[in-house]
RNA sequence: CGGGGCGUAGCGCAGCCUGGUAGCGCACCUGCCUUGGGAGCAGGGGGCCGUAGGUUCAAAUCCUAUCGCCCCGACCA
């Protein structure tokens, strides 16, 4: 491609809304163009990079037996009502009616549609297992799109679905997709960290998120530096240091605390550390109020609490509801609560005295003792791990909390969508008996992956693409418009263009502009021809990621490039592969 | 949805407080010149000042409403 003919319009200055590196460089480099909040057009450079990523995904999924399909974005609401998601999902799911008043949704994933296909065509155990995938537009009306392509409302997602005769077969298949994911990210130049994720009813090792460690990530995960245990913060389990029981339990007493509500205020008021308090938070779980009690130095994990309660909807209880129940926000307490479900965190043990709310305005209770002043009927791990908690897996090291971008998610779905009360998908086994189909689902956000690569691979001057997903492998910068220089550039362009994708900067711009643009758009290998080099029959080769520069005789150029590209190709060796049995 | 910030040319900004012919840099167009790190000279095109009301002889500027965008938080099947 000749730059002079290309639809590439780089910006000297970034639009002020851009703050994260990937957002800034995608805009400046003419990769994307914003249409509205969270909605972007992919310009030619961005489009090409995304197509490269999709190519890698296709290769890896085809290699483990996947078959690509295409499914509609507009889905009949009826299908989504069958699985319950029409009702369970909030405003993120766009619903509308067509001209005949029939209800539809815009698909945010395709479990319903693909399961409907499976229901139609999977009849026999001979049809299983099977894996179908699609790379298509998904629509989610996100509350807050942000950071360019990292979180958007319309995006391409690779979604894969596997169907199995039973759980054992899914367990056998799962490592293959897990390993394919590791290869996909590695081939895009990223080191991904698979972490245990919340898998709801499935439990165990049923779900993994593949994280890229990044300061601009919006997710947090826990990592044990000693044993390698890693998990989503919401799900991660840590060892909670217990408080030592007091020798002589003092009697509970009321303390007037006008306007003192938060743990921080209370610490000041009582002159006691965080862990001496009980933090009581009121939720509404599927319509019923629930109190969650954790120690003052912990926070409630909504995920763990919802999992424990088996609740679909879990929200903070509105102040109004609390007052109706005779509860006072800011002074909540497990003491003296009747007729309401109260869940205690496992950190709250007997023997130690606590300071709790008084369940009355402007009042707290001192010297509260579990078992004496309130009953602990229900105990569960409902608190979030903290940086520095000890690892529950190896018992030794202190857990670290990292920020990251979720690149992909693998999930043993089980029978959530194939169950009788959902879409009811069965097949006949060898004995002619009906059996329930078991599913797995596996997603990757394609544009987010592009943005993640830039988050990882950039410097002050711009992007530094891995050769595997760069929109062009080579940029040929012609510096000087002397006939000999032009002739040499043209010669190289046609000769190298046969084997590589090459962007030939033939513009009449000054050298500074051309070189800055080459850096900005991050093409991995830059070739320069100039008057000086032309005279000696040489070409300059610069590698964008490393900054290495070498001068190469034109006659040796192809062999030299061959070696360079071989060296630059991302490796898929030594990844934390799962045993495929 | 809560908190904060911003809407003036494609991009970055000034002008607004104190109302009076809409400006600067980059980009773009023409010509000359120039080719190793965002060159030079000369000429030029482009804006209902987000939108709608109001105040006023007069509104980018003051008032009201509304829409949009960004950041932090909540939320994220």
Confidence grade of residue A97 (pLDDT, cut at 50, 70, 90): confident
Instruction: Return the pLDDT at A52.
Output: 96
Among A215-224, A324-333, A340-349, A422-431, the least confident range: A324-333
> Strand B closer than 7 Å to the CB of A144?
yes
User: Is pLDDT above 80 for A270?
Assistant: no
CA A353-A359-A364 angle, 5° bins: 45
- Chain B: nucleotides below 7 Å from protein CB are 1-2, 11-13, 25-27, 33-39, 68-77
| pTM assigned to the model | 0.85
Q: Reading across the β-sheet that carries A278-285, which strands appear in turn?
A: A314-316, A278-285, A288-295, A341-345, A379-380
User: Is pLDDT above 60 for A231?
Assistant: yes
**Span CA (A16) to C1' (B18), Å:** 30
**Span CA (A523) to C1' (B45), Å:** 34
| A166 and A438 Cβ atoms separated by less than 8 Å | yes
- Which residues in range 357-386 of chain A are in contact with strand B, contact meaning CB within 7 A of any of its atoms? none
Quote the distance between the C-alpha of residue A106 and its chain's center.
Answer: 21
Instruction: Return the pLDDT at A477.
Output: 94
The DSSP H or E segment spanning A321 is helix A319-324
Instruction: Return the pLDDT at A182.
Output: 95
Chain segment A166-199, per-residue pLDDT in tens: 999 999 999 999 999 999 999 999 999 898 887 6
Q: What is the mean pLDDT of chain A?
A: 86
Among A335-339, A538-542, A558-562, the least confident range: A335-339
Interval A355-360 mean pLDDT: 74
Nucleotide nearest to A35 (CA to C1'): B69
DSSP sequence for A78-102: HHHHHSSHHHHS-TTS-EEE-TT--
CA A262-A218-A264 angle, 5° bins: 10
> Strand B closer than 7 Å to the CB of A461?
yes
| A488 and A185 Cβ atoms separated by less than 8 Å | no
Beta strand ranges found along A328-454 (DSSP E): 341-345, 353-357, 363-369, 379-380, 390-391, 400-414, 426-428, 434-436, 438-445
**Span CA (A143) to C1' (B1), Å:** 9
Look up the protein residue whose alpha carbon has the minimum distance to the C1' of B36.
A511
User: Is pLDDT above 80 for A250?
Assistant: no
Percentage of chain A lying above the pLDDT 70 cut: 94
Nucleotide nearest to A509 (CA to C1'): B35
| A550 and A541 Cβ atoms separated by less than 8 Å | yes
Instruction: Return the pLDDT at A329.
Output: 67
Among A382, A296, A289, smallest CA distance to A344 is for A382
> Strand B closer than 7 Å to the CB of A517?
yes
> Strand B closer than 7 Å to the CB of A16?
yes
Long-range contact pairs involving A482-485 (C-beta distance under 8 Å, separation at least 24): A482/A531, A482/A534, A484/A531, A484/A534, A485/A529, A485/A530, A485/A531, A485/A534
**Span CA (A145) to C1' (B68), Å:** 14
Instruction: Return the pLDDT at A232.
Output: 77
User: Is pLDDT above 50 for A469?
Assistant: yes
**Span CA (A127) to C1' (B50), Å:** 58
Rounded CA-CA distance A447/A458 in Å is: 17
In the DSSP assignment, the letter for residue A45 is H
Interval A464-481 mean pLDDT: 94
Beta strand ranges found along A130-198 (DSSP E): 130-139, 154-164, 193-196
> Strand B closer than 7 Å to the CB of A246?
no
Go through the domains of chain A in sequence order and give each one's CATH number.
15-191+413-455 (3.30.930.10), 253-380 (3.90.960.10), 472-568 (3.40.50.800)
Neighbouring CB atoms inside 10 A of A34's CB total 17
- Which residues in range 181-200 of chain A are in contact with strand B, contact meaning CB within 7 A of any of its atoms? 200
| A366 and A373 Cβ atoms separated by less than 8 Å | no
Interval A40-62 mean pLDDT: 94
Chain segment A234-243, per-residue pLDDT in tens: 777 777 777 7
**Span CA (A17) to C1' (B63), Å:** 29
Instruction: Return the pLDDT at A313.
Output: 67
- Most confident range (mean pLDDT) of A10-19, A223-232, A487-496 is A487-496
Rounded CA-CA distance A107/A155 in Å is: 11
Percentage of chain A lying above the pLDDT 90 cut: 43
Instruction: Return the pLDDT at A70.
Output: 93
Higher pLDDT pick, A335 / A142: A142
A573: its two tokens: 């060796």
Instruction: Return the pLDDT at A214.
Output: 87
Among A578, A458, A506, smallest CA distance to A5 is for A506
User: Is pLDDT above 50 for A269?
Assistant: yes
> Strand B closer than 7 Å to the CB of A116?
no
At A290, give phi and psi (nearest 5°): -140, 140
Interval A509-518 mean pLDDT: 92
Among A86, A168, A185, smallest CA distance to A442 is for A185
User: Is pLDDT above 70 for A201?
Assistant: no
> Strand B closer than 7 Å to the CB of A84?
no
| A451 and A463 Cβ atoms separated by less than 8 Å | no
């Amino acid at each position: 491609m000749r730059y002079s003919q290309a639809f590439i319009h780089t910006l000297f200055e970034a639009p002020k809304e851009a703050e994260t590196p990937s957002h800034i460089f995608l805009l400046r480099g003419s990769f994307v163009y914003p249409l509205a909040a969270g909605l972007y057009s992919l310009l030619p450079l961005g489009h090409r990079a995304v197509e490269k990523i999709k190519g890698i995904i296709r290769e890896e999924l085809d290699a483990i037996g996947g078959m690509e399909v295409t499914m509609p974005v507009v889905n009949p609401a009826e299908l989504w009502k069958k699985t319950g998601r029409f009702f369970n999902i909030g405003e993120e799911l766009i619903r509308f009616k067509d001209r005949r008043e029939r209800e539809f949704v815009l698909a945010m994933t395709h479990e319903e549609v693909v399961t409907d296909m499976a229901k139609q065509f999977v009849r026999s155990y001979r049809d299983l297992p099977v894996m179908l995938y699609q790379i298509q537009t998904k629509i989610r009306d996100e509350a807050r799109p942000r950071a360019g392509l990292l979180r958007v409302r319309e995006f391409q997602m690779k979604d894969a679905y596997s169907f199995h005769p039973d759980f054992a077969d899914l367990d056998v298949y799962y490592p293959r997709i897990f390993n394919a994911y590791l290869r996909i990210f590695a081939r895009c130049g990223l080191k991904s960290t698979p972490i245990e994720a919340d898998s709801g009813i499935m439990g165990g090792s049923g779900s993994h998120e593949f994280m890229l460690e990044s300061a601009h990530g919006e997710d947090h995960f826990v990592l044990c530096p000693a044993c390698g245990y890693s998990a989503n913060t919401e799900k991660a389990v840590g060892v909670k240091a217990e408080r030592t029981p007091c020798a002589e339990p003092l009697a509970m007493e009321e303390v007037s605390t006008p306007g003192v509500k938060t743990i921080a205020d209370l610490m000041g008021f009582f002159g006691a550390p965080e862990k001496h308090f009980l933090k009581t938070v009121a939720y509404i779980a599927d319509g019923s109020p629930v109190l969650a009690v954790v120690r003052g130095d912990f926070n409630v994990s909504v995920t763990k609490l919802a999992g424990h309660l088996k609740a679909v909807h879990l929200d903070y209880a509105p102040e109004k509801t609390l007052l109706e129940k005779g509860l006072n926000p800011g002074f909540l307490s497990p003491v003296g609560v009747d007729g309401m479900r109260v869940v205690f965190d496992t950190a709250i043990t007997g023997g130690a005295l606590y300071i709790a709310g008084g369940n009355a305005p402007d009042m707290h209770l001192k010297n509260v003792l579990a078992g004496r002043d309130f009953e602990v009927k229900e105990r569960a791990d409902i608190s979030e791990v903290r940086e520095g908690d000890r690892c529950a897996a190896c018992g030794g090291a202190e857990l670290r909390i990292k920020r990251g971008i979720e690149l992909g998610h693998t999930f043993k779905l089980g029978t959530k969508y194939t169950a009788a009360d959902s879409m009811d998908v069965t097949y006949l086994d060898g004995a002619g008996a009906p059996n329930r189909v078991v599913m797995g689902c596996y997603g990757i956000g394609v544009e987010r992956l592009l943005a993640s690569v830039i988050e990882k691979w950039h410097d002050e001057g711009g992007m530094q693409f891995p050769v595997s997903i760069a929109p062009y492998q080579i940029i040929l910068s012609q510096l000087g418009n002397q006939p000999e220089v032009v002739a040499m550039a043209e010669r190289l362009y046609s000769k190298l263009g046969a084997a590589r994708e090459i962007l030939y900067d033939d513009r009449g711009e000054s050298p500074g502009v051309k070189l800055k643009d080459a850096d900005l758009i991050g093409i991995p290998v830059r070739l320069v021809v100039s008057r000086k080099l032309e005279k000696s029959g040489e070409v300059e080769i610069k590698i964008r990621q490393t900054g290495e520069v070498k001068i190469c005789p034109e006659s040796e150029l192809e062999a030299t490039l061959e070696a360079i590209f071989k060296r630059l190709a991302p490796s898929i060796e030594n990844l934390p592969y799962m045993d495929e049995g």
